[in-house]
Chains A and B, each alone.
Chain A
Amino acid sequence: MGGGITLEHFLVLGLILFLLGAYCVLTRRNAIGILLGIELMLNAANINYLAFAFFGGARYDGQIFAIFVIMLAAAEAVIGLAVILAIYQNLRTIDVDATETLSG
């Protein structure tokens, strides 16, 4: 690696990605948009794992963890989309505000 890219660069990138994901979750009203935000948060964690593993010496823990997180993100997306599809069939909308019947 050249160009003076250090661990800090990756950590800042991860932080920015995490905050973008959190912002997306908080502002989107579309259920799929929120799922995308969650995906960004998971990938922010992945960048951290890989960066720590790469700069922290010869450890495979970080890489393995990242692979598990990718796999779990896929599982979560499958179940998330299934739930959203069922909601859509019932209500004809996936706007999280429009589904509001439970509150108080």
Chain B
Amino acid sequence: MDLGNAASLSHFLPELLLTAGVIVLVVADLIVRNKAPLGDLALIIAAGALVLIAIEPAQRGAWLFHRMLVFDAFGLFFRALIALAAMVAVWMSIGSEEVCHCDQGEYYAILLASTLGMFLMAEATNLLMAYLALEFVSLTSYILTGFLRHNRRSQEAALKYLIYGGVASGTMIYGVSWIFGIAGSLDFGAINRALAAPGHLPVLTVFIALVLILAGLGYKIAAVPFHMWAPDVYTGAPIPITTFLAVGSKAAGFALLTRFFYPAISHLGAGGSWQALAGADWPQLLLVVCVITMTLGNLAALQQTNMKRLLAYSSIAQAGYALMGVVILTNDGIRAMLFYLFAYYVMDAGAFLVVMIVANATGREDIEAYRGLAWRGGAVPAVALAIFLLSLTGIPATIGFIGKFYIFAAVIRSRFYVLAVIGILNSTVSLYYYMAPIRMMFLEEPRGDETPVTFELWNYGLMGVLACATIVLGLYWTPIIAFADRSMHFFTGPS
């Protein structure tokens, strides 16, 4: 189905709601004197978008806006995930000491605009649209990162993000221009047809163009060697924004990357296994990126003393695990990747939330601030953080274990034995640095001069939900894997 502009709108309701929400927030910021309810309004809008996605009629799929966007199950999964990430980010912003003194209306409007950009990334099926959506997310993220106007670290993080982001997007757009020259179109379907014809294609040029495009996509998911911005930006940005970048932006990057590398430049063979097109030899390239991403992320995390920085390197390594599902070229792998991204959302958002609770109470983010946390009034956050970190390591009875299990099962089934061994070794290494904060919280005595952590209903509520989800979905994960199963469908035209 190729829908025109008007007919497409019925599949575009979540995006329309977000657009309206952005406008309402900006206008309300000008009118109302008491800015506190604006955060609640933003939360309601994000939740509304999630509801609209949930009631979206299940059908086979359609092209929207003359093949600029595509409506399919795969996009729906990522839109739901991104809406959840936005809700957590807004919730945390309301409970954060850092952002509560900023211009509330603008802040939430830009946050929702960024969410809108991520939705579009998850649906783009034309390289022009993909590039515009990616830039939309980047530009709003730069502003959000530097939102603490008088905080030196926040400003510096914004500058670094901007420079790395600008270079990555400049590189990507140059690569896209070569693909345009070779394929004669920017539509994913047309690129697929052009690259499928063997023989007279300049294979080396296509490969270089793919490397250049990977710079833009890899920068969004913070894959090595395009990860350099991530530790600095994650450390400098306000914690709710760090969370949003770590879970939302990364999910959107994975959506675009998978949609580009699978339906656009590969084709689906029998039995759910994919094959790279003759003119586009990408699996080896992505395999190398995947291996160095998880290894370097884990090794660099070993020597971190700042919690945000530690979690930044950990999230680089986690992106490497999820990439394992992408490089093995099977539907099984994609399904495992979808599940893993959901698991990563639950546990990483939870870990950052505890970091925020401690930062709210003590104003510190270094691991030293967690000394004896369990014995100075912070027993609940300490237990929750332990759950999230154990889940990130992949200890059984947590959702992180199930996610890793599906990934490794898919990898082994596709006979990538070396990759599986590297992944398992990496998980073992990660145990060391995930344990460091846990040891600090439980086994070290408090010195006595630390600020006690006090109970805040708002933040503790969300923390409880995420911690329960980590455990409960680690024991009963059927609904999530069933959702991932249903989402394993790219719309590539009526067949």
With A and B bound together, what is the CA distance between A84 and B158 in angstroms? 9
The reply to whether the CB of B163 lies closer than 8 angstroms to some CB of chain A is yes
* Total number of residue pairs linking A and B with CB closer than 8 Å: 119
**With an 8 A cutoff between CB atoms, is B439 at the interface?**
no
Could you say which residues of chain A place their CB within 8 Å of the CB of B150?
A: 90
Cα A22 to Cα B139 with chains together (Å): 21
* Partner-binding segment picked from B92-100, B181-189, B248-256: B181-189
Q: Which residue on chain B has the smallest CB distance to residue A41?
A: B170
Q: Does B132 contact A (CB under 8 A)?
A: yes
**Least Cβ–Cβ distance between A17 and chain B, in angstroms:** 10
Closest Cβ of chain A to B179, distance in Å, is 10
A42 to B150, CA, bound (A): 31
Which of A42, A61, A103 contacts B173, CB < 8 Å? A42
Specify which chain A residues have a CB less than 8 angstroms from the CB of B132 in the assembled complex. Answer: 68, 72
Q: Is B415 an interface residue (CB 8 A)?
A: no
Cα–Cα, bound, A61→B129 (Å) = 12
| Known A-B contacts A38-B170, A52-B180; A99 and B304 likewise in contact (beta carbons under 8 Å) | no
Partner of B177, one of A45, A72, A104: A45
The answer to whether A48 and B178 have CB atoms under 8 Å apart is: yes
Q: Is the Cβ of B156 less than 8 Å from the Cβ of A31?
A: no
B123 at the binding interface (Cβ < 8 Å): no
- Secondary structure dominating the interface of B: helix
Q: How far is the CA of A42 from the CA of B165 in the complex (A)?
A: 13
The size of the chain B interface, using a CB distance under 8 A, is: 43
Residue A20 interfacial (CB < 8 Å): no
How long is the Cα–Cα vector from A99 to B232 in the complex, in angstroms?
A: 12
Residue of A nearest to B151 (CB): A90
User: Across the interface, do B167 and A103 meet the contact criterion of CB distance under 8 Å?
Assistant: no
CB distance from B162 to the nearest CB of A (A): 5
- The answer on a CB contact under 8 Å between B155 and A42 is no
Determine the residue in chain A with the shortest Cβ distance to B158.
Answer: A83
The answer to whether B48 has its CB under 8 Å from any CB of chain A is: no
Q: Which residues of A contact B487 (CB under 8 A)?
A: none
The verdict on A1 contacting chain B, using a C-beta distance below 8 Å, is: no
Given A41-B170, A72-B135, does the pair A102, B236 have CB atoms closer than 8 Å?
A: yes
A68-B128, A76-B139, A80-B166 known; A18 and B156 CB under 8 Å? no
Residues of A14-71 whose CB lies within 8 A of B: 14, 18, 21-22, 25, 31, 34-35, 38, 41-42, 44-45, 48-49, 51-52, 56, 59, 61-62, 64-65, 68-69
Find chain A residues with CB under 8 A from B63 CB: none
A5 is an interface residue with CB less than 8 A from chain B: no
| Contacting residue for A91 out of B152, B157, B170, B184, CB 8 A | B152
Contact A76 B166 (CB under 8 A): yes
Q: What is the bound-complex CA distance between A27 and B158, given in angstroms? A: 20
Q: A56-B184, A64-B128 are in contact. Are A42 and B170 (CB under 8 A)?
A: yes
With A38-B166, A79-B162, A84-B159: A65-B180 Cβ-Cβ less than 8 Å: yes
Whether B232 lies near A45 (C-beta < 8 A) is no
Residues of A within 8 A of B158 (CB): 83, 86
Asked whether A96 is an interface residue with its Cβ less than 8 Å from the other chain, the reply is yes
Q: Which of B141-149, B238-246, B324-332, B474-482 contacts A (4 or more CB under 8 A)?
A: B141-149
Residues of A within 8 A of B232 (CB): 102-103
Interchain nearest-CB distance for A26 vs B (Å): 9
- The interface residues of chain A lying within 8 Å CB-to-CB of B160 are 102
Contact A18 B162 (CB under 8 A): no
B155 touches A21 (CB 8 A): no
B309 contacts A by Cβ under 8 Å: yes
Q: Are B166 and A44 in contact (CB under 8 A)?
A: no
| Cβ of A37 to closest chain B Cβ, rounded Å | 8
**Are A21 and B177 CB-contacts (below 8 A) given A79-B142, A102-B235?**
no
Q: Which residues of A contact B (CB under 8 A)?
A: 11, 14, 18, 21-22, 25, 31, 34-35, 38, 41-42, 44-45, 48-49, 51-52, 56, 59, 61-62, 64-65, 68-69, 72, 75-76, 79-80, 82-84, 86-87, 90-91, 96, 99-104
| Extra pairs beyond A42-B173, A99-B156 (12, CB < 8 Å) | A34-B166, A45-B173, A45-B174, A79-B162, A80-B142, A83-B146, A86-B158, A91-B155, A101-B152, A102-B232, A104-B231, A104-B303
Interface of B toward A, CB cutoff 8 Å: 128, 131-132, 135, 139, 142-143, 146, 149-150, 152-153, 155-160, 162-163, 166-167, 169-171, 173-174, 176-178, 180-181, 184-186, 231-232, 235-236, 303-304, 306, 309
